[in-house]
Amino acid sequence: MGRIKVHLDKVLEERGMTSKELAEMIGITQANLSILKTGKAKGLRFSTLIAICEILDCQPADILEYVKD
């Protein structure tokens, strides 16, 4: 079974934005954003993914990657 690798830190750095700023803009806690960034999240709401993509002006594939084991 594969896994999803999260590249959110890379995209945040490219956009010159902090995790704190993004969390505030999408309306989630920094703790929940941290769980997502570390790949420990068990799921992700489409509404959250859409908000991230809108704010960071990116596509889901820019921040999420499927990796085969």
> How do residues 35-51 score in pLDDT, each as one tens digit?
999 999 999 999 999 99
Residue 37 · residue 9 · CB < 8 Å:
yes
Calpha distance 64→5 (Å, rounded):
6
Domains and CATH numbers, the chain: 3-67 (1.10.260.40)
Residue 55 pLDDT > 90, yes or no?
A: yes
Q: 61: how many CB neighbours lie within 10 A of its CB?
A: 10
Of the pLDDT bands very low, low, confident and very high (cuts 50, 70, 90), residue 32 is very high
Residue 7 · residue 62 · CB < 8 Å:
yes
